[in-house]
Structure 1
Amino acid sequence: MGQGPDARFFERLPALTVGELAERIGGEVSRGGDRKVSAVAPLATAGEGDVAFLGDRKFLSALGDTRAGCVIVPASAVEAAPAGASVIVSGEAQAAWARASLQFHRAVSLTHSAAPGDVAEDATVVFEPGVVLGVGARVGRGSRIGANTVIGPGVQIGRDCLIGSNVSIGFALIGDRVRLLAGARIGEAGFGAARSSTGPVDVPQLGRVILQDGVSVGANSCIDRGAYDDTVIGENTKIDNLVMIGHNCVIGRNCLMAANTGISGSVTVGDGAIFGGKAGVGDHLNIGEGARVAAGAGVLQDIPPGETWSGYPAKPLRQFLREAVWLAKQASGKANAGKSRE
């Protein structure tokens, strides 16, 4: 995103000194307590007014290269912080960063509804009974919004879209000719929690959902907004009912996902990939272009382009079938041996 959380969806709260921030989040200033900071960001994209954190020592090189004005780090990493950055020391850096984000960013709330005339591009837009429209939302020409659907503040919906009943859309930018069936949930907070001495702390989700042109999303499916970057669904991808797509996923164009597919956070899927019913994918994986995941498969590693994988844990289809045949022969042999002894 580069510019920080989208102002259509998140309010920017007043800046604080590093010392003030440390006091509020339970950290200790190591240096630079007088510096003013006003936002949070990841190490790689943070700027002079931003607060970033080191959550794992494998990102020490990113810490050394960051341009963040302030970093939150464990005591063991203070010397690795850039010389010009302010430093807050915390034994639970990610949880402290999560608390910091609440000091600087607040989701725009749906305090009152906008008038349909302020939201619709023209008179061809249809709002069925009970629709709720957030301030700053926009709906393009020829689109239809189903009964009791909630369009959150700042949401942008393109032309010729069909939004079913009881859909909720927030923190989202939606292209043309998109179909969202009844009960779809677009832009809810992704599942993120940081460990702390008092128990898990929710990590605020500051990103968006982007649905490109021609996307279809089935009934009661959920697509979470990004933790900081965006969750993106590529053009003409078709998603069945009861599908879950976690935060920060980037799904390519012309993909197919059958019912009950679950995609964990930060997964990248290439164009034209296909997922059978009840397929599951672990987090931070890459599914190659044109890959196929069989129904019920559990993917725990990257899948190269064009390959078909099956089973749990998922593996290339030929390997899976060979192993299944071998197991069947072993089981049959033991059963026959037992009968012969009888």
Structure 2
Amino acid sequence: MPDPRFFDSLGPASLSELARVGAAELADATSGDRQIVRAAPLDSADVQAVTFFSDAKRKDAAAATRAGACFVRPEHRDLLPATCAALITRHPQAAWAAAAARLHAPRRHEPSSGAVHADAVLEDGVLLSPGATIGQDARVGRGTRIGPGAVVGPGVVIGRDCVIGPNAVIGFALVGDRVSISAGAVIGEAGFGAAAGPRGMVDLPQLGRVVIQDNVTIGANSCVDRGAFADTTIGENTKIDNLVHVAHNVRIGRNCVLAAFTGVSGSTTVGDGVAFGGKAGVADHLNIGSGASVGAAASVFKNVPAGETWTGFPARPLKKWLRETAWLSRRAGGRVTRGDE
């Protein structure tokens, strides 16, 4: 269930309504009055949730789902258990996005509520600069300083002795103690997710949060996206440079360092003590093992084992990259020093 601090529940909705919203056909019309209260992924959906299935490689997950209803292509209808109502459509993910928008809405700042909402809770010693805005039900801990023009969204929790820089924007987030978020950083905006629908591409709802643990530093103009459904997490004492992008559902461990222009794509897991050089890029759904290092401008498309150093395009172990570079230089007729070999 999306965190009620950040999302309003708009349900329930009947299956007939969700079929209409998602431009789908209900396989069993007699189930049209069944009530659904939330949208959820295939693996975590329960009897009160609607989900979607579009990847035949996950047919085992479809067969095991406990969802009350599922948007599914006609050819995949028989993969669902008898307990799951089938909503037939050629665009399951886009239909689910429409249903999710019917069931959940992100909380926004209330109009004309003033700079600090009456329902916000600020402990003693919080310092607010001119132009700072605090949304309803937000909580800010003792000794935290919030810079000019910074925005703290509804329901956000910020711990003690934090520093929030000018024009930083924080939403859908739980922030620990002694965290520094520099000027212009954006925490908790929607991650990138889109699906093809009958009228073109549609945005997918991002119903998760950002969790930032103690002693984290996030540099100027960096972006940390909230999860699509699960959380995006930044572990204790991790240090993020300026102009870094952490995508939705990424999990970064403790004591990591990410230099400027690093980009970590969605649903990647980064272990403890990992270092990223400037402009490093990581593809989605990968695992970067604890203690690994990713060189500057490296492009990672495979899992990186713990403790290894990878670099290059595509990224590979450092020694292999050095050998290949030396060999290529020799083949091209260039001079190679002993150190290059």
Q: TM-score range by the shorter chain?
A: over 0.9
Higher mean Cα deviation, 159-168 or 118-127? 118-127
Deviation of the 1:103 alpha carbon: 0.6
For 2:99, the aligned partner's letter is: A
- Corresponding position of 2:21: 24
Cα 1:119–1:17 shift into 2, 3 Å:
closer
| Distance of 2:123 and 2:134 partners within structure 1 | 15
Deviation of the 1:116 alpha carbon: 6.9
Deviation of the 1:25 alpha carbon: 1.1
| Distance of 1:116 and 1:25 partners within structure 2 | 36
- Corresponding position of 1:337: none
| TM-score after normalising by structure 1 | 0.95
For 2:275, the aligned partner's letter is: I
For 2:15, the aligned partner's letter is: V
2:101 counterpart SS class: helix
- Corresponding position of 1:245: 246
- Corresponding position of 2:313: 312
| Distance of 1:25 and 1:116 partners within structure 2 | 36
User: CA offsets per residue over residues 62-92 of structure 1, 9 Å max, x none?
Assistant: 1111110111111111111111111101111
| Distance of 1:216 and 1:323 partners within structure 2 | 37
- Corresponding position of 1:71: 70
User: CA offsets per residue over residues 217-239 of structure 1, 9 Å max, x none?
Assistant: 00000000000110000000000
- Corresponding position of 1:339: none
- Corresponding position of 1:10: 7
| TM-score after normalising by structure 2 | 0.95
1:103 equivalent to 2:102? Answer: yes
2:323 counterpart SS class: helix
1:193 equivalent to 2:189? Answer: no
- Corresponding position of 2:87: 88
| Distance of 1:150 and 1:164 partners within structure 2 | 10
| Distance of 1:236 and 1:290 partners within structure 2 | 15
Does structure 2 retain, via aligned residues, the 8 Å contact 1:190–1:247? yes
Does structure 1 retain, via aligned residues, the 8 Å contact 2:11–2:104? no
- Corresponding position of 2:123: 122
1:265 equivalent to 2:266? Answer: yes
User: CA offsets per residue over residues 144-196 of structure 1, 9 Å max, x none?
Assistant: 00111000000000001011110000000000000001000000000000012
For 2:97, the aligned partner's letter is: A
Does structure 2 retain, via aligned residues, the 8 Å contact 1:175–1:214? yes
Higher mean Cα deviation, 238-247 or 120-129? 120-129
Does structure 1 retain, via aligned residues, the 8 Å contact 2:11–2:36? no
Does structure 2 retain, via aligned residues, the 8 Å contact 1:33–1:86? no
Higher mean Cα deviation, 58-67 or 273-282? 58-67
- Corresponding position of 1:325: 326
| Distance of 1:118 and 1:102 partners within structure 2 | 26
1:200 counterpart SS class: strand
| Distance of 2:230 and 2:315 partners within structure 1 | 28
User: CA offsets per residue over residues 40-71 of structure 1, 9 Å max, x none?
Assistant: 00111111110011020111111111110111
Deviation of the 1:118 alpha carbon: 5.2
| Distance of 2:117 and 2:20 partners within structure 1 | 45
For 1:74, the aligned partner's letter is: R
For 2:303, the aligned partner's letter is: D
Deviation of the 1:300 alpha carbon: 0.6
| Distance of 2:225 and 2:13 partners within structure 1 | 30
1:325 counterpart SS class: helix
Does structure 1 retain, via aligned residues, the 8 Å contact 2:118–2:136? no
Unaligned stretches of 5+ residues in structure 1: 335-342
Aligned residues: 331
Deviation of the 1:297 alpha carbon: 0.3
Superposition pairs of residues 28-67 of structure 1, within 5 angstroms: 28-31=25-28, 32-67=31-66
| Distance of 1:301 and 1:75 partners within structure 2 | 34
| Distance of 1:116 and 1:219 partners within structure 2 | 26
Cα 1:233–1:333 shift into 2, 3 Å:
closer
Deviation of the 1:123 alpha carbon: 2.7
| Distance of 1:325 and 1:85 partners within structure 2 | 58
Q: Report sequence identity in percent.
A: 53
Superposition pairs of residues 169-208 of structure 1, within 5 angstroms: 169-208=170-209
For 2:98, the aligned partner's letter is: R
| Distance of 2:100 and 2:118 partners within structure 1 | 35
| Distance of 1:109 and 1:69 partners within structure 2 | 29
- Corresponding position of 2:339: none
Stretches of 4+ aligned residues off by more than 4 angstroms? none
User: CA offsets per residue over residues 118-163 of structure 1, 9 Å max, x none?
Assistant: 5354331100110011000000011100111000000000001011
Unaligned stretches of 5+ residues in structure 2: 336-341
For 2:160, the aligned partner's letter is: R
For 1:306, the aligned partner's letter is: G
Deviation of the 1:109 alpha carbon: 1.2
Deviation of the 1:113 alpha carbon: 3.9
- Corresponding position of 2:236: 235
1:195 counterpart SS class: strand
| Distance of 2:43 and 2:61 partners within structure 1 | 6
1:322 counterpart SS class: helix
